[in-house]
Amino acid sequence: MAKSGYLSGKKIVPRRIPKGIRVTDLIDHFFQAYNAARLREAAQLFAQKMLSPDVTVGMSLTGALTPAGLGGSCVVPLIRAGFVDWIVSTGANLYHDAHFAIGHSLHVGSPFVDDRLLRKEGVIRIYDILFDYKVLLSTDSFFRKLISFEEFQKEMGTAEFHYRVGKYLAAREKALGIENSSVLATAYKYGVPVYTSSPGDSSIGMNVAAMALDGYGLKFDVSKDVNETAAIVLDAKRKGGRSGVLIFGGGSPKNFMLQTEPQIQEVLGIREKGHDFFVQITDARPDTGGLSGATPSEAVSWGKVDPSKLPDTVVCYLDSTVAMPIITSYALAKRKTRELKRLYDRLPDLLSCLKIEHDKAGMK
């Protein structure tokens, strides 16, 4: 009998998982179906293709990931290995990232405690993470002190703001003997630009607003952020390379990262095709309108993803706090470190190239 081509996939084998198995072997040989298989595909796509030297990798972060320690355990090692070249994050992740760098602690707790009692005792809860209310006050004070410095008395993009903050967080880590806990401190050291798509939507933005009431001059230039991120993607393509996105969650950071291609094509009138690689970890659904930026195939209709590259896209419907450590561990085991692109150092040149191409396109 003729065998259907649909049956050409690897056979599912119900083998026993051996003791002491490596994460890479567990993923490659035992994640065989459903979202386990999607997670395997995501890890393999990231490690085998997206981490090629010619790919510029952007990462977006949504949800309370840094309070759970995932900044230091996952994002920092990926930056240090050269596996992440630029980042878009919620401001909340970057605010909570600072707690660790300035010497504060967060604690494992329970999601089932009485929040009225926590309020009385000055304890903050992020699901099952607990910490002292004074951590917020101290972190607020740290940011307000920085915002009062002369170097912050101007309008700047969020990448520049985070770079300058990262310098001070790195110094604080060094003074306290803390090793590589902060995403912003590590991004500063490794030249990775970090953006916030909604800079007013976090405690950092709240403190900037408070300082504005007191007459300080820091303002965020969101248009610069839009153009810089588009320039990063265009530069990757124009130098014969490719662009990949690694998306944890959805929301504004996801869309901000993906809108770089419509900004290039639709708004600036520059000939382009879309991102080459797309990996997303999400627990949202597209049919309710909650999956921001939607699926890779829908993103093709917007020009966000190159239609010829749909086979190099994976959506895994899974909790980011489960997937991120697994993907990080897999990539670090499978790939050697990459040469740093240090995109932050090159941003002025990238913007100039973007403007030249926009002028040539005549879209004014």
Q: Does residue 23 form part of some domain?
A: no
Q: Does residue 10 form part of some domain?
A: no
Q: Does residue 2 carry a pLDDT above 70?
A: no
Greatest extent of the chain over all pairs of C-alpha atoms, in Å: 81
Candidate list 224, 237, 304, 309, residue with the active-site label = 304
Nearest to 222 by CA among 155, 147, 157: 157
Confidence of residue 352 (pLDDT cuts 50, 70, 90): very high
| Mean pLDDT score, 246-271 | 93
The pLDDT value given to residue 301: 85
Q: Is the pTM of the predicted complex or chain greater than 0.85? A: yes
pLDDT digits (tens, 9 = 90+) for 17-28: 999 999 999 999
More confident residue, 286 or 361: 361
Q: Does residue 20 form part of some domain?
A: no
| CATH number where 296 lies | 3.40.910.10
Q: Under a CB-based contact definition with an 8 Å cutoff, are residues 260 and 229 in contact?
A: yes
Quick check: is 304 catalytic? yes
pLDDT digits (tens, 9 = 90+) for 336-346: 999 999 999 99
pLDDT digits (tens, 9 = 90+) for 15-68: 999 999 999 999 999 999 999 999 999 999 999 999 999 999 999 999 899 999
The pLDDT value given to residue 289: 75
**Count of structural domains within the chain:** 1
Q: Can you tell me whether residue 271 is helix, strand or coil?
A: coil
What φ, ψ does residue 61 adopt, rounded to 5°? -130, 120
| Mean pLDDT score, 173-182 | 91
Query: In whole angstroms, how far apart are CA 262 and each of 16, 215, 224, 295, 299?
Result: 47, 37, 16, 16, 10
Tokens 């670090």 locate to: 332
Q: Does residue 195 form part of some domain?
A: yes
Confidence of residue 317 (pLDDT cuts 50, 70, 90): very high
Q: Does residue 250 carry a pLDDT above 70?
A: yes
Q: Does residue 189 form part of some domain?
A: yes
Task: For residue 326, give its domain range.
Answer: 38-358
Least confident of 177-181, 276-280, 344-348: 177-181
pLDDT digits (tens, 9 = 90+) for 136-156: 999 999 999 999 999 999 999
Nearest to 106 by CA among 58, 139, 152, 60: 139
Other C-beta atoms lying within 10 Å of the C-beta of residue 180: 17
Q: Is the CA virtual torsion 68, 72, 73, 74 positive or negative?
A: positive
The pLDDT value given to residue 1: 61
Distance CA 364, CA 361 (A): 9
